[in-house]
Chain A
Amino acid sequence: QSVLTQPPSVSAAPGQKVTISCSGSSSNIGNNYVSWYQQLPGTAPKLLIYDNNKRPSGIPDRFSGSKSGTSATLGITGLQTGDEADYYCGTWDSSLSALGFGGGTKLTVL
């Protein structure tokens, strides 16, 4: 069972915007940085967002991250069929001294 909670799936039409939530607690999201990963089918995960809202070089600004209290959100605008993937949030849990991932959210671009 994951320490972070994500919706199992979200969907939206091409060109639209979608948000993916990640809920935790004070021992993880509340006091640590959140990162987000995209995993396309059959490939390794790829870093999309780090330190709550920063994008690595090469990640388009269609992807954004935010954090408020014990929850974080990944936003994707201008959806493309190539965005269909599983998305994971991750953060350190200070009580467990372990890193936790959310269960993952499958994005479908209809």
Chain B
Amino acid sequence: EVQVVESGGGLVQPGGSLRLSCAASGFTFSNYGMNWVRQAPGKGLEWVSYINSGSSTIYYVDSVKGRFTISRDNAKNSLYLQMNSLRAEDTAVYYCARSPRAAAGTSFDYWGQGTLVTVSS
């Protein structure tokens, strides 16, 4: 069974840092691109970042460029999101989602349950 499970969320002060993790199982992780998608409380979905299977292609939404870094460890079947210089507007549930095909921007076929990041003093 395909599973992706996020962890690492919590309460952090503005300007602080947090590292999210996503543990994948039930599929050959190294064959798939992965994404982070977030959802602010009561708001819609916002795609945050994509990384391809070999970490050679990475994209970010403009609002996080220079502050967030996506990475992966295929040996550990894990995806990460390093979030620095956090702002109140980064408060959201962060989902890890798999891309079923090699190219960025295809659909997201498996999603985790999400981890909540709250940026507040």
Contact = CB atoms under 8 A, between A and B. Distances in A.
**A contact face: mostly helix, strand, loop, or mixed:** strand
A101 to B, nearest CB: 4
Nearest to B97: A45
Contacts, number: 65
A44 B95 contact: yes
Given A2-B44, A100-B47, A47 B109 contact: yes
Contact of A56 (B45, B47, B109, B114): B109
Given A33-B106, A88-B44, A45 B111 contact: yes
B114 A44 contact: yes
Interface residues on A, range: 20 to 34
A34 B102 CA distance: 16
B109 A92 contact: no
Interface residues on B, range: 20 to 34
Interface string B94-121: 0100001000111111011110000000
Contacts of B35: 99
Contacts of B59: 97-99
A45 B95 contact: yes
Interface in A37-55: 37, 39, 44-47, 50-51
A50 B79 CA distance: 23
A56 B50 CA distance: 22
Contacts of B61: 98
Interface in B21-77: 35, 37, 44-47, 50, 59-62
B100 A50 contact: yes
B47 A44 contact: no
A100 B45 CA distance: 9
